[in-house]
Chain A
Amino acid sequence: MYELVEKKSIGSGVTQYEIRAQRIARSRKCGQFVIVRALEHSERIPLTIADVDIERGTITLIVQAVGKSTLEMTRLEKGQGFADVAGPLGQPSHIEKYGTVVVIGGGLGTAVVYPQAVALRNAGNKIISIIGARTKELLILEELAASVSDRLILTTDDGSAGMKGLVTDALKMLLEEDETNVDAVYCAGPVIMMKHVSEVTKPLNIRTIVSLNPVMVDGTGMCGGCRVTVGGKRKFACVDGPEFDGHEVDFDELMDRLTTYRDHEQKTLKRYKDHECKLRQQ
């Protein structure tokens, strides 16, 4: 069991968990993830390690409750534990000194790019962060992002916070500014967002690194469920990634593959909610 040391809500349906996992905390490098099972019967789900505290021997995970597994996770309380946490998995982020780096996080993707922003800044880069979400309540980690950014732009689809529009609108705005010279873009969030960001930067030949989130089982290269097409070649996101050159990724294929279990997920979620309802009525 992996003890849940701290738990707090950081946005609408978004929870931050601090879990004791000493070895993982020590080995983890920026960009890596863990595979988690909240309970004994749960699915194995991949989650990016948002932060670690080596002294406390803990790792931080940020999870949006969207399905049964993630909802069950939110029912766990401080002092209880996660059944299984395995990692750190995946290749560490590629960090180098580019000059100016735009770091783009959409929705939960902010939890993925924030540690990258920290590492990139430590490597001597100027950081411009663009944090976007559908609406104000779903914006997460703005303050942390602000603390590592030379400039922070918030966007919401509905204009409830920051500029109204998509992260790509903010990116285009930046690229049109004469004084801003963008040397690289790091981006994580919904696949459609990463696709559009990559489409914006490709003609300008700005190096763009995206962090992919395909379906995974083991996370160690064994199942091949997370295969993605990058530069026309098959790559396993769990061991070759999760970060890839955004200009080479077949996003449409990834988006399609991510719908594989949609029916099952909806059914499982409904069954879970009905069950909870009944329990409450009793």
Chain B
Amino acid sequence: MSREEDSVERSEKPSAKERMAIPRVEMPQREGRERNKDFEEVNLGLGEQAAIREAQRCLQCKTARCVEGCPVGIDIPGFIKLIAEGDFLGAAAILRKDNNLPAVTGRVCPQETQCEVKCVRCKTDAPVAIGWLARFVSDYEVEHRSGRPKASAAKTGKKVACIGSGPAGITCAGELAKMGVDVTLFEAFHKPGGVLVYGIPEFRMPNRVVADEIENLESLGVKIETNVIVGRTLTLEQLTGEEGFDAVYIAVGAGLPSFMNVPGENFKGVYSANEYLTRSNLMEAYDARADTPIIRGKRVCVIGGGNTAMDAVRTSKRLGAEESMIVYRRAREQMPARAEEVAHAEEEDIKFEFLTAPVEVLGDEKGWVKGLRCIRMRLGELDESGRRRPVPIEGSEFEIECDLVVVAIGTRANPLLTKATAGLKLNKWGYIEVDDNMMTSIAGVFAGGDIVRGSATVILAMGDGKCAAASIDRYLVGRQNG
């Protein structure tokens, strides 16, 4: 043990007054103009001393409102208490009890609207940096653990198929495996992880972090089968029939990319964000030696204001763009992207054109994108989303020169599995309808994540996966007893 760690362990428990005097830690991060040239992580993570000090800021509230804000109900004061005591592996174990992907959520959860916003210290100075602490302990665990998690529960003899290996599928599979269920996780792509590997870029979510969590899952006994497209390779009926699964969890995620429906959208050099990010992340086209090609624009316009748009625009900069900009039809305050992502983008020299909507993609004589014709917008009355509706300003059209356009304006439900499955009830947008137990219209078939919610977050999908696992367990037990 190093001298430094020794002194930490012996440090006295700080008084409430001392705790209140500690200012919120700052996340060490790489400088914007340095990091926007590579795909290494932006946030460097907290060191041990910084983590302990930050953990000491936690007042250990009797009624922990932060936990109420967490979609998977992590024992937040519990794991923070152990960090403050220097027991990082103990803290990791507490995290892991309720969260199968702590290293993931520690990086991409919108803590500012979930746990941290409920922190009592918001009233006085700033909330405890719960997300950064979660990331710290899970990264620490990877470095220092003695082994991977094992399922200790007795085998139930039940078989469950989880379809889709994104955050919802991973969570459900992990929870069920811990309960002693025999779980197989099916993935359509050649690599498991879903949106965590095809969507979220390396600089926010390194693939090694996801790969490590997948190994944990396998250590829990979950079998993973890639290249299986349920609805095509196997039908749902085959899973519950000849393949012998007692229950199924559908978590196939967000689906078909939406386009703008403006002229010129099929010129070469227009990507959906899904395609752009999949090429860069899953197919690793960010590496110039990769077989899979990607168009590296010099002047890039990304359409949209969500986290996916931020991921795409920041990727384009790293792929060598001289200028990368967000074109968004509403105002800054209405962007759905996390504030941290927007701030990071700005630090990386990303430009923003607010209140601007494309009306046409312009192409050259060879069919390549050469620009975007846009119209300025103003904010009008409130719309159904409760935000002020953008209204075009007549005669305000102008052109932006660019050679790559990435459309990041959302996705629609992918009908591949749902259409191939008779009796599965969908809502009018094509998403799967579930009851309070997350069961679909087919008994024993459950669903969650984006194929139920539309586009949501990693942590909400994980929350769904966790709820579904509990429901599936009840369903299996009920059937056994019934």
Interface: B112 (CB within 8 A): no
Mask, A212-246, CB within 8 Å of B = 1, is: 00000110111111010100001010010000000
Residues of A within 8 A of B227 (CB): 84-86
Interface: B272 (CB within 8 A): yes
- A257's partner among B229, B268, B279, B290 (CB-CB below 8 A) is B268
Contacts A/B (CB < 8 Å), 20 sampled:
A23-B234, A24-B233, A42-B291, A69-B291, A86-B188, A87-B229, A217-B278, A217-B292, A220-B416, A221-B255, A222-B414, A223-B272, A223-B275, A223-B278, A225-B271, A225-B272, A227-B266, A234-B265, A239-B415, A253-B266
Interface: A164 (CB within 8 A): no
Interface: A37 (CB within 8 A): yes
- Of A171-179, A192-200, A259-267, the segment with at least 4 beta carbons within 8 Å of chain B is A259-267
Determine if A257 and B256 form an interchain contact, defined as CB atoms under 8 angstroms apart.
no
- B272's partner among A44, A88, A224, A264 (CB-CB below 8 A) is A224
Expressed in whole angstroms, the Cα–Cα distance for A184 and B229 within the complex equals 32
Interface: A12 (CB within 8 A): no
Closest to B234 in A: A23
Interface: A276 (CB within 8 A): no
CB distance from B304 to the nearest CB of A (A): 14
- A87's partner among B232, B256, B266 (CB-CB below 8 A) is B232
Residues of B within 8 A of A268 (CB): 291, 293
Within 8 A of A (CB), among B219-234: 226-229, 232-234
CB distance from A155 to the nearest CB of B (A): 30
Within 8 A of B (CB), among A162-214: none
CB distance from B234 to the nearest CB of A (A): 6
Interface: B367 (CB within 8 A): yes
Residues of A within 8 A of B189 (CB): 86, 218
Interface: B295 (CB within 8 A): yes
Evaluate whether A222 and B255 lie within 8 angstroms (CB atoms) in the complex, with A85-B227, A89-B229, A259-B268 already known. yes
A-B contact count (CB 8 A): 102
Evaluate whether A261 and B293 lie within 8 angstroms (CB atoms) in the complex, with A220-B416, A224-B259, A224-B274 already known. yes
Expressed in whole angstroms, the Cα–Cα distance for A239 and B292 within the complex equals 21
Evaluate whether A260 and B295 lie within 8 angstroms (CB atoms) in the complex, with A27-B232, A227-B266, A234-B259 already known. yes
Expressed in whole angstroms, the Cα–Cα distance for A256 and B366 within the complex equals 8
- A88's partner among B232, B256, B268, B279 (CB-CB below 8 A) is B232
Interface: A83 (CB within 8 A): yes
Residues of A within 8 A of B279 (CB): 217
Residues of B within 8 A of A253 (CB): 266
Mask, B163-182, CB within 8 Å of A = 1, is: 00000000000000000000
Expressed in whole angstroms, the Cα–Cα distance for A24 and B228 within the complex equals 9
Within 8 A of A (CB), among B224-257: 226-229, 232-235, 255-257
Evaluate whether A257 and B266 lie within 8 angstroms (CB atoms) in the complex, with A220-B188, A223-B272 already known. yes
B interface residue count range (under 10 / 10 to 19 / 20 to 34 / 35 or more) = 20 to 34
Evaluate whether A86 and B268 lie within 8 angstroms (CB atoms) in the complex, with A37-B190, A44-B292, A224-B257 already known. no
Interface: A75 (CB within 8 A): no
Expressed in whole angstroms, the Cα–Cα distance for A239 and B190 within the complex equals 18
Residues of B within 8 A of A89 (CB): 229, 232
- B275's partner among A225, A229, A239, A256 (CB-CB below 8 A) is A225
Interface: B283 (CB within 8 A): yes
Interface: A41 (CB within 8 A): yes
Determine if B414 and A223 form an interchain contact, defined as CB atoms under 8 angstroms apart.
no
Residues of B within 8 A of A7 (CB): none
Determine if B283 and A84 form an interchain contact, defined as CB atoms under 8 angstroms apart.
no
- B234's partner among A27, A69, A83, A257 (CB-CB below 8 A) is A27
Q: A-B pairs with the 8 shortest C-beta distances?
A: A223-B275, A264-B293, A86-B227, A84-B190, A224-B272, A256-B367, A261-B293, A224-B257
Mask, B187-204, CB within 8 Å of A = 1, is: 011100000000000000
Determine if A43 and B256 form an interchain contact, defined as CB atoms under 8 angstroms apart.
no
Evaluate whether A86 and B233 lie within 8 angstroms (CB atoms) in the complex, with A220-B416, A221-B416, A256-B367 already known. yes
Expressed in whole angstroms, the Cα–Cα distance for A260 and B228 within the complex equals 29
Determine if B229 and A86 form an interchain contact, defined as CB atoms under 8 angstroms apart.
yes
Evaluate whether A218 and B232 lie within 8 angstroms (CB atoms) in the complex, with A84-B226, A229-B266 already known. no
* Interface core residue of B188, B226, B228, B259 (most chain A CB under 10 Å): B188
Expressed in whole angstroms, the Cα–Cα distance for A147 and B251 within the complex equals 46
CB distance from B366 to the nearest CB of A (A): 8
Expressed in whole angstroms, the Cα–Cα distance for A85 and B229 within the complex equals 11
* Interface core residue of B232, B259, B271, B272 (most chain A CB under 10 Å): B232
Interface: A68 (CB within 8 A): yes
Residues of A within 8 A of B414 (CB): 220-222
Mask, A77-102, CB within 8 Å of B = 1, is: 00000011111110000000000000
Mask, B274-287, CB within 8 Å of A = 1, is: 11001100010000
Expressed in whole angstroms, the Cα–Cα distance for A257 and B189 within the complex equals 24
Closest to B367 in A: A256
CB distance from A54 to the nearest CB of B (A): 14
Determine if B291 and A88 form an interchain contact, defined as CB atoms under 8 angstroms apart.
no
- A68's partner among B229, B271, B272, B291 (CB-CB below 8 A) is B291
Determine if A223 and B234 form an interchain contact, defined as CB atoms under 8 angstroms apart.
no
Expressed in whole angstroms, the Cα–Cα distance for A256 and B293 within the complex equals 17
Residues of A within 8 A of B283 (CB): 43-44, 217
Closest to B231 in A: A220
Closest to B295 in A: A260
Residues of B within 8 A of A234 (CB): 259, 265-266
Expressed in whole angstroms, the Cα–Cα distance for A257 and B275 within the complex equals 15
Expressed in whole angstroms, the Cα–Cα distance for A253 and B267 within the complex equals 8
Closest to A261 in B: B293
Residues of A within 8 A of B265 (CB): 234
CB distance from B407 to the nearest CB of A (A): 8
Determine if A223 and B257 form an interchain contact, defined as CB atoms under 8 angstroms apart.
yes
Residues of A within 8 A of B274 (CB): 222-224
Expressed in whole angstroms, the Cα–Cα distance for A41 and B290 within the complex equals 7
Residues of A within 8 A of B257 (CB): 222-224
Expressed in whole angstroms, the Cα–Cα distance for A87 and B228 within the complex equals 7
**Knowing that A220-B229, A223-B272, A229-B266 are A-B contacts, what are 5 other residue pairs whose CB atoms are under 8 Å apart, sorted by A's residue number?**
A23-B233, A41-B290, A44-B283, A221-B414, A223-B275
CB distance from A39 to the nearest CB of B (A): 9
Residues of B within 8 A of A42 (CB): 291
CB distance from A184 to the nearest CB of B (A): 26
CB distance from A195 to the nearest CB of B (A): 16
Expressed in whole angstroms, the Cα–Cα distance for A83 and B228 within the complex equals 14
Residues of A within 8 A of B295 (CB): 260
Within 8 A of B (CB), among A104-131: none
Expressed in whole angstroms, the Cα–Cα distance for A41 and B188 within the complex equals 17
Expressed in whole angstroms, the Cα–Cα distance for A44 and B137 within the complex equals 37
Residues of A within 8 A of B235 (CB): 27
